Amino acid sequence: MRVVSLVPSLTEAVAVSAPGLLVGVTDWCTHPADLGKRGAVRIGGTKNPDVERIAALRPDLVIANEEENRAPDLAALRAAGAEVLVTEIRDLPQALTELDRVLVGALGLARPKWLDDAEAAWARVEPAGSLRAFVPVWRRPWMVLGRDTFAGDLLARLGVHNMYGGHAERYPRVPVEELAAADCDLVVLPDEPYRFTREDGPEVFPDRPSALVSGRHLTWYGPSLAEAPAVLAAALRAARQGDPARPSPGGAGCP
C-alpha cells in the first residue's frame, strides 16, 4: 500500500510497524529520524497540507485525525479521489483502539508488539498519590489543557488531577496572573507544542515545582506510549523532589 500520514505520531506508528508504506508525511513528522531516506515526501503541515502534491503521490490511504487536521483539507483530499481515514483520540483506550484500527484493520498488518507493550505498560500503572496541577501548552497567549484531552487522561492515570479538566473548552486561554495564583501542587510543562525549558516557563511559577516533561511521551499516540509511563513518572517525581527533569528529545510539533 501507499500511505500518506497527516499526523506525526501516526507517522511513527506506521513507519515503525511497516517500513516502506509511507510515501508522504507532514513537515512536523520527526520520528523516525530517517523518514526522508525511506522515500517519504514532505507534503506541508498538519493544518495546511498540499492537496495537489498528496494526490500526485497516488496514495491508497491518507491517515488523519479529527483534531490535528482541518475538515476542509480532508474534504479536498476526498474530492481529489483519496481515501481518508480519520481517527478520533481523546483518551488512552481510544488511542489503543484507533491504532489497532489503522494498523491492523486498515493496513492489514499483524498487531505490532509495541502496541501490546504499550497496553501492558499502562495497565501496570498505579498512581502514586494525587497531585493538583495545570498544564500549559502555549505561551503568548497562555493556554492550558482543558477538558477531554489525551494528555490529560495520561496524567490522570499517573495521579495528576488537571485543574482545568472541567473547563468548557479543550484548550482554554487563561490569564497568566490566574495561573500564577493557582492553588496547586505542580505545574506540568511539556516541550511541545510550545517548547518549555528550564529557562522558559518555570520562572513564571517560582512558588511551586515545575515538571518539564517530554511532549512526545505526553501527547503522542504511537510507539512512545510503551515507555511513556516510566518517562513521565520519572519527570513528575524529579519535580516533586526539587529537580525538574529535562524532557527526553521529542517531536517539534503535533501528535
Cell of 121: 505498560
What pLDDT is stored for residue 37 in this prediction? 78
Q: For residue 241, what are the CA distances in angstroms to 89, 209, 249?
A: 33, 9, 22
CA-angle at 61, arms to 57 and 63, nearest 5°:
105
CATH architecture of 3-87: 3-Layer(aba) Sandwich (3.40)
- For residues 149 and 167, the answer to whether their CB atoms sit within 8 Å is no
Residue 147: strand, helix, or coil: coil
Write the pLDDT tens digit of every residue in 143-182.
999 999 999 999 999 999 999 999 999 999 999 999 999 9
Q: What is the pTM of this model?
A: 0.91
What pLDDT is stored for residue 251 in this prediction? 42
Q: Which amino acid is residue 31, in one-letter code?
A: H
Task: Report the distance separating Cα 172 and Cα 179, nearest Å.
Answer: 12
Domain with CATH 3.40.50.1980 in the chain: 3-87, 122-240
**DSSP bridge pairs for 62:** 4, 84
Query: At the topology level of CATH, where does 122-240 sit?
Result: Rossmann fold (3.40.50)
What pLDDT is stored for residue 36 in this prediction? 76
Task: Report the distance separating Cα 48 and Cα 149, nearest Å.
Answer: 23
What pLDDT is stored for residue 252 in this prediction? 43
Cell of 25: 508525511
What pLDDT is stored for residue 250 in this prediction? 45
Closest by Cα among 140, 190, 180, 181 to 160? 190
Task: Report the distance separating Cα 221 and Cα 106, nearest Å.
Answer: 17
**Dihedral (CA of 61, 65, 66, 71) sign:** negative
What pLDDT is stored for residue 243 in this prediction? 64
What pLDDT is stored for residue 241 in this prediction? 83
The list of the chain residues with pLDDT below 50 reads 246, 248-253
Would you tell me how many other CB atoms lie within 10 Å of the CB of residue 181? 10
Cell of 229: 509511563
Write the pLDDT tens digit of every residue in 37-69.
778 999 999 999 999 999 999 999 999 999 999
Cell of 220: 503522542
Task: Report the distance separating Cα 87 and Cα 90, nearest Å.
Answer: 10
Cell of 134: 495545570
Omega cis (within 30) before 32: yes
What pLDDT is stored for residue 249 in this prediction? 45
